[in-house]
């Protein structure tokens, strides 16, 4: 395998994140690397990777997290060279079984082979699985979401391959026998905690309100006697915590609203208020300068979004209050993989969707809002839509 510049495989091996001058370039390189893999593979290679290799990798990682192996490995020697026999001593796993799983994860670069036969080392990714946020994300996706996607083809076949829009008849319900809100509040309350942690884990992918949007312009005109920032359905308040870190002496109250089951996991500065809240009830905080919704509306069908916006609009002070919607704005011509995967995921979970610029403007207008501007960070996938009540 050679090219004008030398050994192609060696050239590819030399590329890593440091090869990219910016995060935007890194994301472009990832997309190109995915396309390159398909160009290099035969059709059989690709089929085997998708339906034979990937499931064994995910299954192996989930087994390791259930054994708490990565955390125990890290505590044992910092994640450096260890054998299956050594690692098995800290778990309830048969060393022969553990060796088989570790070998498969190493061939997939989830962990790495050491120079000594039968020994392995952790990688940056496997090390990340020792953090609660990444561990919760992986566990939630394995235990709940993967089953949904395997059930989607049968669900769509039963429905005659019509685009699903009925919020009570979803692939999620088809597989799990309930909807996601019942799962959070009744059947599996730990799911709410894991979901909140996973939202924190993926924050870097979504960008930052305080870094990507000119919040100072709104703060400068804010009334210090009223509420400043309402984080609507804000989970455990990670966005409000970031807001408070940048503006530790805010001109007004900072409030995080969500269901009680979710807010139970919030650990916030006493200056930040928490408030139990129902999206489909009238907004209780009147006349705030900013009402912020981060990845909330993509969970809901258009008709529900209109209801949510109508409730919110009734609390806003016309000519003063701003709605900030932090969401994906899908490129209608060529969306990136994050947008397309998220769109299909929202369909499977709630029969909702990710929206294009045109979609957002239409649903906001139906809810009584006019878009002022849409701000997207350079190289970013997520945007912040500023809207005002009409």
What is the distance between the terminal CA atoms of the chain, rounded to a whole angstrom? 63
Residue 281 DSSP symbol: S
Burial class (CB in 10 A: 0-12, 13-18, 19+), 91: middle
Phi then psi for 129, rounded to 5 degrees? -75, 0
Is residue 298 annotated as part of the catalytic site, yes or no? Answer: yes
Q: Vertex 376, ends 325 and 302: CA angle to 5°?
A: 35
Query: How many residues does this entry show for the chain?
Result: 390
CA separation for the pair 112, 28 (Å, rounded): 26
Burial class (CB in 10 A: 0-12, 13-18, 19+), 177: exposed
Residue 285 DSSP symbol: S
What Rg, from alpha-carbon coordinates, does the chain have? 23
Give the position of tokens 């960008």: 207
CA separation for the pair 311, 279 (Å, rounded): 8
Burial class (CB in 10 A: 0-12, 13-18, 19+), 240: buried
Dihedral angle sign, alpha carbons of residues 285, 239, 346, 321 = positive
- Please list, residue by residue across 129-147, b when 16 or more beta carbons sit within 10 angstroms of its beta carbon and e when fewer do: bbeebbbbbbbbbbebeee
Which tokens sit at 62? 């989930």
Give the position of tokens 């004008």: 4
Among candidate residues 174, 294, 298, 326, the one labeled active-site is 298
For the annotated catalytic residues, the residue numbers are 298
């Amino acid at each position: 395998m050679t090219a004008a510049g030398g050994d192609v495989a060696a050239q590819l091996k030399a590329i890593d994140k440091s090869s990219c001058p910016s995060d935007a370039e890194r994301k472009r390189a990832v997309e190109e690397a995915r396309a390159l893999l398909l160009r290099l593979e035969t059709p059989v290679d690709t089929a085997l990777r998708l339906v034979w290799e990937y499931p064994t990798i995910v299954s192996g990682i989930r087994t390791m997290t259930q054994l708490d192996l990565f955390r125990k490995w890290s505590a044992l020697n910092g994640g450096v060279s260890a054998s299956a026999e050594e690692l098995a001593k800290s778990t309830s796993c048969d060393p022969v079984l553990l060796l088989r799983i570790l070998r498969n994860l190493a061939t997939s670069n989830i962990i790495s082979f050491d120079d000594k036969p039968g020994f392995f080392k952790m990688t940056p990714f496997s090390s990340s699985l020792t953090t609660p946020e990444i561990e919760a994300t992986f566990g939630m996706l394995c235990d709940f979401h993967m089953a949904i996607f395997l059930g989607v083809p049968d669900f769509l076949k039963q429905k005659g391959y019509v685009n699903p829009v009925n919020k009570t008849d979803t692939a999620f319900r088809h597989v799990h026998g309930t909807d996601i809100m019942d799962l959070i509040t009744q059947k599996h309350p730990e799911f709410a905690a894991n979901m909140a942690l996973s939202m924190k884990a993926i924050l870097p992918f979504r960008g930052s309100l305080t870094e990507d949007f000119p919040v100072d312009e709104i703060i400068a005109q804010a009334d210090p006697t009223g509420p400043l920032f309402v984080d609507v359905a804000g989970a455990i308040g990670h966005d409000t915590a970031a807001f408070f870190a940048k503006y530790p002496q805010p001109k007004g109250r900072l409030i995080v609203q969500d269901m009680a089951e979710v807010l139970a996991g919030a650990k916030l500065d006493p200056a930040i208020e928490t408030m139990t809240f129902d999206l489909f009830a009238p907004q209780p905080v009147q006349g705030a300068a900013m009402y912020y919704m981060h990845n909330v509306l993509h969970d809901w069908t258009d008709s529900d979004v209109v209801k949510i916006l109508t409730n919110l609009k009734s609390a806003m002070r016309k000519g003063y209050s701003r709605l900030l919607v932090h969401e994906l704005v899908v490129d209608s011509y060529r969306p990136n993989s994050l947008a397309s995967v998220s769109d299909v995921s929202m369909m499977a979970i709630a029969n909702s969707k990710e929206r294009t610029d045109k979609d957002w403007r239409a649903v906001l207008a139906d809810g009584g809002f006019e878009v002022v501007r849409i701000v997207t960070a350079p190289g970013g996938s997520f945007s912040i839509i500023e809207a005002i009540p009409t």
